[in-house]
Structure 1
Amino acid sequence: MRALLDVLMVALDFYSWLVIASAIVSWLVAFSVINVRNEFVRSIWNFLYQVTEPALRPIRNILPNLGGIDVSPIILLLLIFFVQRVIQLYVYPIVI
């Protein structure tokens, strides 16, 4: 059981890095630092969007409109960190 929890912790850590990468790429596209007409950039953009959007969309639906500021990645990261801490502090000690 502990091995499954370790895999879950690694998956959550990896997903948090994907959320951070998605936010950075969206900023770079918004400020025209990178161009989505490039096939490589477009493929990375589509991959990050498809991986993170299912988790970010419900958060965006709940949050009020903040005038162009998207805080949903921050809230998702906080939720991921909260789940990781709950696993570390409460689930690990009771698992053999």
Structure 2
Amino acid sequence: MVSLIQILLMIIGIVKFIVIAHVIMSWLINFNILNLRQQLVAAIWDGLNRLLEPIYNPIRRVLPQMGGLDLAPLLFFVALIALEIVLQNNLRAFY
């Protein structure tokens, strides 16, 4: 059981990294530091959007409209941290 929780914690860490990369990349694109006309940037951006948009869309439906501010990544990131805390606390019960 400990190994399963450790694997889940590793997956959560990877997903957190992907969310942070997506947020930073969106900022860089919005401030015209990265250009979507570059093939590599467009491919990475498309891949990140394909991974994360199915997760963000249900969160966006629940959240109120905030103008141009998208709080779905923040709420998802907080949920990931909460899940990580729950798993870490339950991991101690199996030792």
Please report the TM-score for the alignment, with normalisation by the length of structure 2.
Answer: 0.93
**Matched positions, count:** 95
Identity across aligned pairs (percent)? 32
RMSD over aligned Cα, in angstroms? 1.1
Q: Which runs of 5+ in 2 are unaligned?
A: none
CA distance in 1, matches of 2:46, 2:78: 24
SS of the residue aligned with 1:66?
coil
Q: Which runs of 5+ in 1 are unaligned?
A: none
Partner of residue 71, structure 1: 71
Letter in 2 for 1:47: G
| CA apart distance, 1:92 | 1.1
Letter in 2 for 1:5: I
CA distance in 1, matches of 2:53, 2:17: 14
SS of the residue aligned with 1:3?
helix
Letter in 2 for 1:85: I
CA distance in 1, matches of 2:79, 2:8: 14
Question: 1:1-96, aligned counterparts within 5 Å?
Answer: 1-89=1-89, 91-95=90-94
Please report the TM-score for the alignment, with normalisation by the length of structure 1.
Answer: 0.92
Write the deviation string for residues 73-96 of structure 1: whole angstroms up to 9, x where unpaired.
Answer: 11111000000101111x213335
CA distance in 1, matches of 2:2, 2:94: 6
Detail structure 1 runs of 4+ shifted over 3 Å in the superposition: none
CA distance in 2, matches of 1:32, 1:93: 46
